[in-house]
Amino acid sequence: MNFFNKNRLIFWLLVILVVINISALVTFFLYYQGQKKQGIENPADNTFRTFQRELSLTPEQSGKVNSINARYRSLSGPISTELKSKRSALLEELASDDPDTFLLNKYAEEIGILQKEIQKAAIRQYLELKVVCDSHQCRKLSQFYFQLYGGKEPGTGHGKRMQNRFRHGQRN
């Protein structure tokens, strides 16, 4: 093979390698941008999609569930923000050299009241969702809330009575 043919072959081989590398980089960046867009989605939309998928909601039910969840977010959002603020103030006071116990107790009371309000809003949301759902969907909704709050599902036999029935080999 003469010198010019050898150089031409190497040149075209390099061109092909450059094109492959550029296409790999473009593919990587497009894929990475797609992943970023999916990560930026609104968590409220994910919750709604989860409800819709898990409960097999009809379009009419979906509209009602969406409005119930939006109402809950509008109620709980400001409370949650204030709760974070009170917790931060509590932690700052605890971190001070001479924490004021009166102020700490005041923050604890305020945090308790805010948590109570959020819990009441969650109860209202659940009861409103329960009205929208049929009996099968209500069972799934109940399971969803049990998982959300970390409790044991009713009827699973893991209540206190079942745990303490035979303690230390003796029957209670």
DSSP string computed for 40-76: TS-HHHHHHHHHHHHHT--HHHHHHHHHHHHHHHHHH
Degrees (nearest 5) of the Cα angle 24, 27, 33? 140
d(CA 146, CA 166): 26
- Whether the pTM exceeds 0.85: the reply is no
Percentage above 90 pLDDT, the chain:
23
What is the three-class DSSP state of 166? Answer: strand
CA angle 77, 43, 55 (to 5 degrees): 105
CATH 1.20.120.1490 fits 43-150, yes or no: yes
What pLDDT digit, counting tens, does each position of 114-166 carry? 999 999 998 999 899 889 888 888 888 888 888 777 776 655 555 544 455 55
- Tokens 């009996």, residue? 135
